């Protein structure tokens, strides 16, 4: 299949390119830079110049494909709401390019969209349309396209990790380095789901190949890793203490991440595993945190 991939040189996309090519697919990789274009060409992908700020460029890439995987997202969290709205516009543009066909479009969301009851794992059959996370815009837009006859499915991400990056945990490491200690709120029993990068990219490929309109897939290996355990691993890596702080102190310590720090959002992937035969084999989040080079 000839696949248009946004975010092709990003953390997930750069691992997805060889996963797709290795499975016999052709990849049209979107990039904004010369360095990205050089990397994509060397990896065996076709280069498409485009940016999230220019929905027409994304529409053009989708139009010349037989299927689309959308992994690109602007991770400037100081402008999170604005960036979620930008993602909405990009998803709509790709949907317009695929209208009138059954070509699949796999978009990206977060596992939190499947959390319905506090403390209970999020599941694929739940879409919490009242979820306060602005990233809900992506999945809401996907639902609009599905209702318009576009073959849309969703991969919901947890904290995706290897020994270089770990989702929201990477900025936590930077904060801990600056503050001189790794903090968690209260007892730190709130949980974050996680999966290794290699397992996540395989799931994206399987989701595209499944071509099931309306399907939601949770890319989850570990249902919930306690934030205290994460902070302790960061502390070991940086050789600094890990300690509890109060919710009143969260803003001063975490800054823009204060809203995430106390969240408890475990997630299950039981339905995803059964539907796709997906079985994660990568190392755990704490294994990667223990193995990474904190001096880099």
Is the pLDDT reported for residue 76 higher than 90?
A: no
Tell me the mean pLDDT in the region 188-212.
98
The pLDDT value recorded for residue 196 is 98
Distance CA(285)–CA(225), nearest Å, equals 8
In the chain, where the domains are located: 2-160+195-222, 166-193+223-267+283-291
Q: Whole-angstrom Cα distance, residue 190 to residue 185? A: 9
Going by pLDDT thresholds of 50, 70 and 90, the confidence category of residue 78 is: confident
Residue owning tokens 């397992």: 199
Mean pLDDT of 230-243: 98
Tell me which DSSP letter residue 165 carries. -
pLDDT of 131 reads 78
pLDDT for position 133: 83
d(CA 126, CA 67) in angstroms, rounded, equals: 25
Q: What is the SS3 assignment for 121?
A: coil
Taking residues 55-78, report their average pLDDT: 94
The radius of gyration of the chain's CA atoms, rounded to the nearest angstrom, is 19
CATH 3.40.50.410 fits 2-160+195-222, yes or no: no
pLDDT over threshold 80, residue 18: yes
How confident is the model at residue 58, as a pLDDT? 97
Mean pLDDT for the stretch of residues 150-172 = 97
pLDDT at residue number 159: 97
**Residue 130 has what pLDDT?**
80
CA distance 261 to 166: 15
What is the dihedral sign for C-alpha 248, 253, 259, 264? negative
Enter the pTM of the model. 0.96
């Amino acid at each position: 299949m000839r696949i248009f991939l946004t975010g092709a040189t990003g953390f997930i996309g750069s691992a997805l390119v060889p996963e797709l090519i290795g499975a016999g697919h052709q990849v049209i990789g979107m990039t904004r830079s010369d360095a990205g274009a050089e990397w994509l060409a060397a990896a065996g992908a076709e280069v498409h110049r485009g940016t999230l700020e220019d929905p027409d460029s994304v529409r053009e890439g989708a139009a010349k494909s037989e299927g689309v995987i959308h992994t690109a997202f602007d991770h400037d969290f100081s402008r999170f709401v604005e960036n979620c709205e930008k993602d909405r516009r990009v998803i709509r543009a790709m949907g317009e390019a695929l209208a009138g066909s059954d070509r699949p479009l796999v978009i990206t969301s977060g596992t939190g969209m499947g959390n319905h009851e506090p403390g209970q794992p999020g599941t694929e059959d739940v879409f919490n349309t009242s979820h306060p996370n602005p990233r809900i815009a992506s999945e809401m837009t996907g639902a609009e396209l599905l209702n318009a006859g576009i073959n849309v499915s969703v991969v919901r991400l947890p904290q995706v990790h290897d020994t270089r990056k770990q989702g929201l945990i990477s900025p936590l490491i930077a904060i801990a380095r600056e503050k001189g200690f790794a903090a968690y709120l209260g007892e730190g029993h709130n949980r974050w789901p996680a999966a290794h990068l290699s397992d996540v990219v395989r799931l994206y490929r399987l989701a595209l190949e499944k071509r099931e309109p309306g399907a939601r897939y949770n890319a989850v290996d570990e249902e919930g890793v306690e934030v205290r355990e994460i902070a302790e691993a960061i502390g070991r890596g940086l050789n600094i203490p890990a300690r509890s702080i109060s919710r009143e102190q969260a803003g001063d310590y975490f800054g823009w991440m204060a809203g995430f720090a106390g969240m408890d959002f475990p997630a299950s992937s039981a339905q995803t595993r059964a539907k796709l035969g997906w079985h994660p084999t990568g190392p755990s989040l704490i294994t990667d945190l223990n193995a990474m080079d904190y001096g880099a």
